[in-house]
Amino acid sequence: PAPSQNTEETYDLVVVANRLPVDRITNPDGSQGFRRSPGGLVTALAPIMAASDGAWVGWHGGIDEELESFDKDDIHMVPVPLSEDDLELYYEGFSNSTLWPLYHDVIVPPEYHRTWWDRYKKINQRFADAVLKIAAPNATVWVHDYQLQLVPQMIRLARPDLKIGFFLHIPFPAASLFSQLPWRKQILQGLAGADLVGFQRETDASNFLRCLRRFTEYSTKGDVATPPAGHQMQNLCRAKAHPISIDTEQIAKLSRDPQIIARAGQIRNELGNPKTVILGVDRLDYTKGIRHRLKAYGELLADEQLRAGDVCLIQVASPSRENVDTYMELRDQVELMVGQITGQHDTLSHTTLRYLHQSYPLREMIALYLAADVLLVTALRDGMNLVAKEFVAAHQDGRGVLVLSEYTGAADQLTQAVLVNPHDIDGMKDKIIQAVNMSEAEQDKRMRRMNRHLKVNTVARWSEVFLSELAEISAASSADAIA
């Protein structure tokens, strides 16, 4: 890194996300430290960041805690502090009770509060300031997700030299829903500060372009949005689908690990070797359709289309956003349904439903994927759903059936899955039965086709393609400026 005027180190590639890719750990001697988190995004970016002086700006997960920046595995980590109030207004409030439900098709009603919006602006500025301090001249800045949609404009206005990319990991809603947002124009302008805005699906990109046309003075042609003459930002903004993926080879390799294979066998044994193991893996979030899934499963047991003694559903629901009311309500509803199903169908020696309100390390997740015959992904709306992709990558053996909601980004790519509409409970019940009874030859054919896709379309390729497209766009627009 080259020193800048203010003696801070500067970096050629700066990634900005709400969270830093690290987990807090307690060392054997009792001291506190950080470990790199297993997420796909950091796996993809780590090699690029190591090769090009990369820094990552994000919240470290502590409350009211100022931390110095530190290096971890060749990535320079820049922690952004959040107070208890910031968490309530910016994170739980505007990010997760306004934007999250609005962008997921108002499955629960979004709440609009001016105090939340004010704090969202303030915290976005805090992240932007942290970037401005460390971005080298002409650096590339890659901003991630709905928590930070104002950051591209904020850094564009301060530093027109930067190449700015943005990727939205969640859906972008239709204009008829987005129009509810009292601050729709500010959010759109915030995003338009980027040279390239990436989305999970084509639909998300076209929704965004339509909103820009309808609610701002930008005009669009193809996938490029142009500001009006005299606008404070003069950059063109390109909007495109860049669906994210997984580290396919890493998952495939783990799925061949003898210890993990043995663990998968042990999981089935300990459940009493049911004929069929069905699996669900989600954050405990109302977008995931967990209640719809349990409804269908409970009915299949009640009508004896599934025999209680033959089948077990393992539902992993990892704790998430536990201070947000809608998440507390969902937890109560799910746990009530779990009690109804197990109370009615379990016996002293067999459970029909093993509910786990916990999260597990990657190796244990792969063992669960291998132990399962069927994975149920029944989201009501989901930007991508990487669990679906991981399940497929873990089944290089060609076994297993993916039941996948049409309302996920993954459904655009994993077209050989058994696709379902989670609102149609009868339809979903039929598809679950189809999955449970699918012949091995059919399972194998579908798994192989989906794995052919994942072998090529990895998360490493996703970030390479995004960054090289961003580099090309910026080079073209600076050439325009010279001409």
Residues near ligand G6P (CB under 6 A): 18-19, 145, 169-170, 320-321
| 242 neighbors 465 (Cβ within 8 angstroms) | yes
**CA distance to 325, 347, 395, per residue, from 453 (Å):** 39, 42, 13
d(CA 117, CA 89) in angstroms, rounded, equals 8
Neighbours of 109 (CB within 10 A): 11
d(CA 96, CA 462) in angstroms, rounded, equals 26
d(CA 384, CA 410) in angstroms, rounded, equals 5
Q: Which is nearer to ligand G6P, 4 or 320 (CB)?
A: 320
How far apart are CB 211 and ligand G6P at their closest, in Å? Answer: 19
First-to-final CA distance of the chain: 32
In the set 86, 292, 382, 395, the catalytic residue is: 382
How far apart are CB 144 and ligand G6P at their closest, in Å? Answer: 7
Question: In what helix (H) or strand (E) does residue 299 lie, and over which residues does it extend?
Answer: helix 290-302
How far apart are CB 283 and ligand G6P at their closest, in Å? Answer: 6
Q: Which is nearer to ligand G6P, 170 or 447 (CB)?
A: 170
How far apart are CB 386 and ligand G6P at their closest, in Å? Answer: 9
Q: Which is nearer to ligand G6P, 54 or 409 (CB)?
A: 409
* 247 among known catalytic residues: no
CB-based burial label for 142 (10 Å; 0-12, 13-18, 19+): buried
Q: Which is nearer to ligand G6P, 320 or 457 (CB)?
A: 320
How far apart are CB 319 and ligand G6P at their closest, in Å? Answer: 9
Question: In what helix (H) or strand (E) does residue 402 lie, and over which residues does it extend?
Answer: strand 401-405
Q: Which of 410, 386, 317, 401 is closest to 357 using CA atoms?
A: 317
d(CA 169, CA 38) in angstroms, rounded, equals 17
Q: Which is nearer to ligand G6P, 18 or 207 (CB)?
A: 18
How far apart are CB 146 and ligand G6P at their closest, in Å? Answer: 7
In the set 23, 105, 129, 169, the catalytic residue is: 169
* 169 among known catalytic residues: yes
Q: Are strands 11-19 and 32-36 parallel, antiparallel or unpaired?
A: unpaired
Q: Which is nearer to ligand G6P, 54 or 171 (CB)?
A: 171
Place of tokens 């019940």: 429
Q: Which is nearer to ligand G6P, 119 or 446 (CB)?
A: 119
Which residue in the shown chain puts its C-beta closest to ligand G6P? 169
State the DSSP string of 61-106: S-SS-----EEETTEEEEEE---HHHIIIIIIIIIIIIIHHHHTTT
| 420 neighbors 406 (Cβ within 8 angstroms) | yes
How far apart are CB 374 and ligand G6P at their closest, in Å? Answer: 24
Q: Which residues pair with 419 in a beta bridge?
A: 404
Question: In what helix (H) or strand (E) does residue 140 lie, and over which residues does it extend?
Answer: strand 135-144
Active-site residues, by number, are: 169, 382
